[in-house]
Amino acid sequence: MTSPAAARALTLLFALTLLVSACLLFWVQPLITKQFLPRFGGSPAVWTTASMFFQVLLLAGYCYAHALARAGNFRRQMLVHVAVLAGMALLTLPIRLAPEAGSGGDVVPALSLLALLTAALGLPFFALAATAPLLQRWFSRLRHARAADPYFLYAASNLGSLGALIAFPFLLEPRYGLADQNLAWSAGCAVLALLVALCAAVAWRWRSAETAPATGLPAASVWPERLRWIVLAFAPSSLLLGVTQYASAEIAAVPLLWLIPLFLYLLTFVLVFAARPPVPQRWMLRLQPWLVILLALVWTLNNHLPVLLVHLAVFFVSAMVCHGELARTRPAVTRLTEFYLCMAVGGALGGIFNAVVAPLAFDALYEYPLVIALACLLRPPPAGAARAAAGDWLWPLGLAAAYAALAALNLRPFAYGGWGTALYLEFLGVALYLCHRRPLRFGLMVAVVLLAAPYVHSPDTVLARERSFFGVHAVVQEHTGKLHVLMHGVTVHGAQYRDPEKRRETTTYYHRDSPVGQLFQVLQSRPVAAVAAIGLGAGTIACYRRPGQDWTFFELDPLVVRFARDTRYFSFLADCAPDARIVLGDGRLTFAAEPDGRYDVIVVDTFSSDAIPVHMITREALALYLRKLAPDGIIIFHISNQYLDLAPVLATLAADAGVHALQPGQRMTLPPEDRFGAMESLWVAVARRRESLRPLIDEEGWLPLTAPPHARPWTDDYSNLPGALK
């Protein structure tokens, strides 16, 4: 046995190496994904697909670690892995990106993204992923008092992960560009290779004289245990991607919103695998049903801002329950790499389910409520609880039958508020509470309630719904029957009156009195030959086209183009601009091919989630728009968002480029009955010459936009989302 001082030194060395390894592993995930995000239109699915890639490579690394650990030759294990890390550092670093690869117009964007990630990061990520289980296995072979239970090092590893996730959005991203971070990360990998080599030398010096017993082939009785580990790892992994996609679709597809759920996910590992867990598992088991019931109620009400916070709470507590069960049932150290391998299988399956299976199987985000229900099913039953009974199936089947009957009769008694809705919510809360002590009944009831929530709370009728790499799009008929509305998730992308007399009337953010309506109104007094609209939606602004004008739309998603051209739903293009050209692909990349100085008006109306993608409002993007703009032309940006204030960002970009920027002088007061006919929106107009904007100032009362002091302009290499939060 080692001396106390030597034991402390060994623990510190291995913990430090694991911390550095995990820090690098989770630093590179948002770093590399952010670099590919503009190439695929800023879609939230970029992070979902990248997360699946990371989970699968993590599984590959754990398979390699398990196979190497079973080889039996301790010295060979260490030499092989040190050689792999050294080869990674020498042959593949720094990260190299294929210039301008991926346009967002690929036939299968997910496959294109996976190919790019593999080429840029495959070997380094694989080598880093294998390091944690191998180091813990090496530690278990030392002459050390804690060698028999090295799982505490897993908590230390996750502390490094948490540090990276905190540092990236709040320290690194606001201060350093992506290129500088790439170099720093590559240098960190070289340092890690040296630390692992030192751990190997120390492990050989302080190795135990005892030979670890071979684990042998798995007995049949082991497989139920392994399957349970896999399922317990699958549910939090899938929930992680589900809650991240929900948050990204509500606000913006940006690293900060990717990392908050990932931070919570890793924090659960730190808490449950700590030598002395600071949060008792029984607290989480008691809290989970209450939070899930709250989520079911507010989700049914379609109350998105509060429910976002509840989503995160449900995700955290559910992950604590599942990971707590993993920690409670962890095996002896001889099966350490096997245990981590099963966890990696579950994690990878969660990523594959959300990124590959669900988009093919579902036309909406059904995978998320289904896995929330699965997490409830995985709750351990209370001590002394009776086995599953017929009632565990009858309760959810009865509720599902009631919803089906309402749908068949086209009745929506709870979509309009009032006392009926209050009674319904009370009924749901009581029914779910009465089920919470029986995991099967509770989980099935939660699944039925969450899946039925969109029908229950929405007064509108879904006419068509499809899912692509870029999200879920639906055409709904507004409950009065007056309008068809194009939705991307919960974001409105256009609406059209069904009345033939009003069919050409512009609506939503583009109505006649909106900022963009004011712009086209004042432009009637001057010649406008060519207009570019980056972002199509339902094609509403096509009805501002005047005879003889050349209009071009740039649209990322083929599904949007199909809906906008389908006259069963929308006829803006057919009625107002039948000869308009539509260019498919990411707006930045496709717009770059247009002739310089061609357009008199450029409308930047691209939305991924509820915000304009970051790569569309950078210094390089503005320079591109100005290059394609006629000398006296105007660029107008649509920057409406509930959570982000992007006007200062554009003001800083305009000041940096030496051009002029305006915003509307006052907000409009809209009549309450115009739910989709007129919606509030925020726009910013930019031009080289102040005189080009003079009509907006004189006739519509627009005001100059002033850049905040000391603000740094966003670039393709740098952005600061926390600084833009309202």
Q: Where are the domains of the chain?
A: 1-206, 222-459, 510-668+677-716
Decide if 160 contacts 23 (C-beta within 8 A).
yes
Q: Using DSSP, state whether 679 is helix, strand or coil.
A: coil
What is the DSSP code (8-state) at residue 644? B
CB atoms within 10 A of CB 566: 14
Closest by Cα among 352, 24, 31 to 178? 31
Q: In the structure encoding, which two tokens stand for residue 265, read together?
A: 């996910």
Tell me the C-alpha distance between 626 and 618, whole Å. Answer: 12
This prediction's pTM: 0.80
Predicted local confidence at residue 383, as pLDDT: 66
Q: Indicate the helix (H) or strand (E) that contains 372.
A: helix 367-377
Name the strands in the sheet holding 683-687, side by side, starting at the edge strand that comes first in the sequence: 581-584, 550-555, 530-534, 599-604, 629-638, 683-687, 660-663, 703-704
Rounded to whole angstroms, how far apart are CA atoms 237 and 693? Answer: 51
CA distance 623 to 657: 8
In whole angstroms, what is the distance from residue 296 CA to residue 450 CA?
6
How many helices (H) does the chain have, and how many strands (E)?
A: 23, 12
Six-digit token string for 280: 């008792």
Neighbours of 278 (CB within 10 A): 8
Pair 37, 46: CB distance under 8 Å: yes
d(CA 445, CA 373): 8
**Looking at residue 384, what DSSP letter applies?**
T
Residues of the chain with pLDDT under 70: 1-3, 41-42, 72, 97-107, 144-151, 209-221, 249-256, 302-307, 383-390, 412-420, 457, 608-611, 667-674
Pick the CATH number of 510-668+677-716 from 3.40.1440.60, 3.40.50.150, 3.40.309.10, 2.40.30.10: 3.40.50.150
Check: CB of residue 346 under 8 Å from CB of residue 292. Answer: no
What DSSP state is assigned to residue 476?
Answer: E
Per the omega criterion (within 30 degrees of 0), is the bond before 94 cis? yes
CB under 8 Å to 539, separation ≥6 — which residues?
Answer: 494, 553, 564, 570, 572, 573, 577
Record: fold of 1-206? Growth Hormone; Chain: A; (1.20.1250)
Contact 165, 259 (CB under 8 A): yes
* pLDDT number for residue 101: 46
For residue 649, give the nearest of 695, 687, 615 by alpha carbon: 615
Say if 1-206 and 510-668+677-716 have the same CATH topology: no
577, β-bridge pairs: none
Task: Pull the structure tokens for residue 324.
Answer: 């707590």
- Provide the pLDDT for residue 144: 66
Give the end-to-end CA distance of the chain in Å, rounded to a whole number: 58
